[in-house]
């Protein structure tokens, strides 16, 4: 589908545990920590609700998460919020929350995290970061709290559009036919996708799934966790949630780290094309690295790498490659490559996958594509891709003119020629063009207002959220920019000491790094 391209992933009351006594407690346990800080009129019951912490494995929505959630010391719960904040007394939904309690006796509060997407699980991110922050200053001073945004993962109800079998079939369809009949067929599929989302998720959930609502959920979580002010770590799309929150609740922010920023001043189309150029830049860097290896699948001339890659992948448009009882499609080859371009740590695996493809073996590339979609060995999919589409369709400006789609597709191919299938641009409209509920996103840049300075981290070789987007976000929010010179998407808490120390100092002590700080 073109959608993924155009859219840019209680009862009983006990007192709050005292500092130094927040981990190792018997579960389940009930806390009432709120209301804390400012409470909007009419939402008192949500801001002051009890929260029941339980063992986490039953909250996992994937096999991999189930293992991660089994770590000792993790606690999980659900928090109730209005489905529609304009009608808080009507229907409610539940948000999944995972907490790794602070280890030390000088606890500052909770650090809420969102890993991006949209559609990615914050609970999963917190579980995987639990060991990383253990025995660090960050882990001693903060409860690490991940939440699944509305409609995602352990939150209820979930956004669901396609079944597992339908996702497998969707991945085999490269939509490369740009003839009138081919375009019509693609648009019928996009219409069907939108219709299934409405039927299986409900139009009311789809209408209230956007970033505007997630920011309001974040403020409820702040109060329920007992924090008068928010401490927040947002990666990628999570920076959009942070910016939305900063505009809606500027006086409620204590500290905010935004890593891998989305440019708040760019249009949806410009952002899409910048991302295409970013992934082409990452491909070019991969090609240079590969050329220096003993056995490079793309050859030893980086300037010819795109042509060699196209020769390897374009035959898959007409002849998907058998991989056991499955097939590697052209779309999967592109998605698997994109998955590996997110970080230079996967370049060696990508080269091996392309070497295998040259020999008629698509196993590794299909594994990379499965990782992109979150497909498990059992064949099940998380709902992250469905949530990705649902959020983007209500957050972003929509395009309805086929000629505009033709222009966008042409410019996209020019910006990222390694992803060009050679069949020409298509005027086919995407699923958002047929979406059954209106746009709710705010297209104006956020206003910082009384917001205290925040920290924005931007990576020079970030393929998904190009470096300049972080520069722009820091300027709009009147924050401090921290530059990392590297080739990956996001960096904080990923082993780069310079970045980790600077961001942790800010979160703990509210001390921003010096203007112009660069890490390598």
pLDDT tens, position by position, 170-208: 999 989 999 999 999 999 999 999 999 999 999 999 999
Output the six-digit token pair for 286: 């991969």
Q: Which two tokens stand for residue 285?
A: 């860097």
Distance between terminal CA atoms of the chain?
37
**Contacts for 421 with CB less than 8 Å, ≥ 6 apart:** 174, 176, 314, 317, 330
**pLDDT averaged over the chain?**
93
Q: Are 27 and 112 a contacting pair, CB within 8 Å?
A: no
Beta-carbon contacts of 1 under 8 Å, excluding residues fewer than 6 positions away, are 170, 175, 189, 190, 193, 389, 430, 431
CA distance 301 to 514: 41
Q: What is the pLDDT of residues 311-355, one digit of tens each?
A: 999 999 999 999 999 999 999 999 999 999 999 999 999 999 999
The helix (H) or strand (E) run that includes residue 306 is helix 305-313
* Strands 75-82, 29-31: pairing kind: unpaired
The pLDDT value recorded for residue 26 is 84
**How many angstroms separate the CA atoms of 214 and 32, rounded?**
22
- Of 101, 99, 92, 91, the C-alpha closest to 122 is 99
CA distances from 298 to 83, 108, 308, 319 (A): 50, 51, 6, 21
Sequence-distant (≥ 6) Cβ neighbours of residue 173 within 8 angstroms: 189, 329, 331
According to the model, what pLDDT value does residue 446 have? 82
Residue 153 has pLDDT above 70, yes or no: yes
Backbone angles phi, psi at 447, to 5 degrees: -100, 125
Q: pLDDT at position 265, please?
A: 86
Q: Cβ(68)–Cβ(127) under 8 Å?
A: yes
What pLDDT shows up at residue 274? 95
Per residue in 378-397, pLDDT (tens digit) is: 999 999 999 999 999 999 99
**For the segment 7-36, what is each residue's pLDDT rounded down to a tens digit?**
434 323 322 333 333 444 588 999 999 999
3-state secondary structure 62-124: CHHHHHHCCCCCCEEEEEEEECCCCCCCCCEEEEEEEEECCCCCCCCEEEEEECCCCCCCHHH
**How far is Cα 50 from Cα 45, in angstroms, rounded to an integer?**
10
pLDDT at res. 408:
97
Tokens at 38, concatenated? 């400012």
CB 84 within 8 A of CB 204: yes
Query: Is the dihedral angle over the CA atoms 252, 23, 507, 65 positive or is it negative?
Result: negative
Geometric angle at alpha carbon 430, from 403 and 327, rounded to 5°? 120
pLDDT tens digit sequence for 427-474: 999 999 999 999 999 878 888 778 999 999 999 999 999 999 999 999
Question: Where in the sequence numbering do the catalytic residues fall?
Answer: 236, 462, 489
């Amino acid at each position: 589908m073109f959608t993924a391209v155009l859219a840019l992933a209680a009862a009983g009351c006990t007192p709050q545990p005292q500092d130094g006594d927040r981990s190792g407690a018997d579960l389940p346990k009930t806390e009432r920590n709120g209301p804390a800080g400012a409470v909007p009129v009419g939402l008192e019951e949500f801001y002051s609700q009890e929260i029941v912490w339980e063992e986490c494995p039953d909250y996992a929505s994937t096999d991999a998460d189930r293992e991660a959630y089994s770590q000792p010391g993790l606690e999980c719960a659900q928090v109730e919020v209005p489905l529609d904040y304009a009608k808080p007394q009507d229907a409610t939904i539940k948000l999944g929350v995972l907490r790794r309690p602070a280890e030390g006796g000088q606890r500052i509060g909770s650090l809420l995290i969102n890993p991006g997407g949209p559609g990615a699980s914050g609970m999963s991110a917190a579980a995987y970061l639990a060991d990383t922050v253990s025995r660090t200053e960050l882990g001693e001073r903060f409860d690490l709290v991940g939440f699944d945004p509305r409609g995602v993962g352990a939150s209820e109800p979930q956004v669901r559009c396609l079944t597992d079998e339908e996702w497998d079939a969707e991945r085999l369809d490269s939509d490369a036919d740009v003839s009138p009949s081919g375009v019509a067929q693609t648009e019928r599929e996009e219409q069907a996708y939108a219709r299934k989302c409405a039927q299986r998720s409900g139009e009311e959930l789809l209408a209230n799934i956007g970033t505007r609502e997630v920011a309001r959920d974040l403020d409820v979580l702040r109060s329920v966790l007992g924090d008068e002010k928010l401490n927040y770590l947002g990666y990628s799309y999570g920076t959009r949630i942070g910016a939305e929150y900063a505009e809606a609740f500027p006086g409620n922010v204590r500290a905010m780290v935004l890593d891998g920023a989305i440019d708040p001043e760019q249009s949806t189309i410009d952002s899409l094309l910048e991302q295409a150029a970013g992934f082409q830049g990452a491909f070019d860097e991969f090609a240079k690295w590969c050329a220096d290896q003993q056995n490079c699948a793309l050859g030893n001339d980086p300037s010819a790498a795109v042509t060699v890659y196209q020769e390897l992948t374009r035959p898959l448009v007409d002849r998907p490659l058998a991989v056991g009882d499955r097939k590697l499609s052209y779309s999967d080859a592109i998605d698997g490559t994109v998955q590996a371009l997110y970080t230079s740590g996967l370049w060696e695996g990508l080269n091996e996958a392309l070497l295998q493809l040259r020999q008629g073996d698509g196993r590794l590339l299909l594994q990379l594509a499965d990782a992109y979609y979150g497909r498990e060995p059992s064949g099940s999919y998380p709902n992250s891709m469905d949530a990705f589409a649902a959020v983007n369709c209500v957050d972003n400006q929509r395009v309805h003119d086929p000629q505009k789609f033709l222009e966008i597709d042409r410019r996209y191919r020019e910006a990222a020629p390694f992803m060009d299938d050679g069949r020409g641009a298509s005027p086919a409209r995407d699923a958002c063009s047929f979406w059954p509920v209106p746009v709710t996103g705010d297209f104006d840049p956020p206003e910082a207002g009384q917001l205290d300075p925040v920290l924005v981290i931007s990576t020079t070789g970030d393929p998904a959220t190009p470096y300049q987007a972080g520069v722009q976000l820091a300027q709009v929010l009147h924050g401090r920019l921290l530059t990392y010179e590297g080739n990956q998407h996001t960096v904080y808490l990923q082993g780069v000491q310079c970045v980790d120390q600077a961001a942790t100092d800010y979160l703990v002590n509210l001390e921003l790094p010096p203007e112009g700080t660069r890490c390598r």
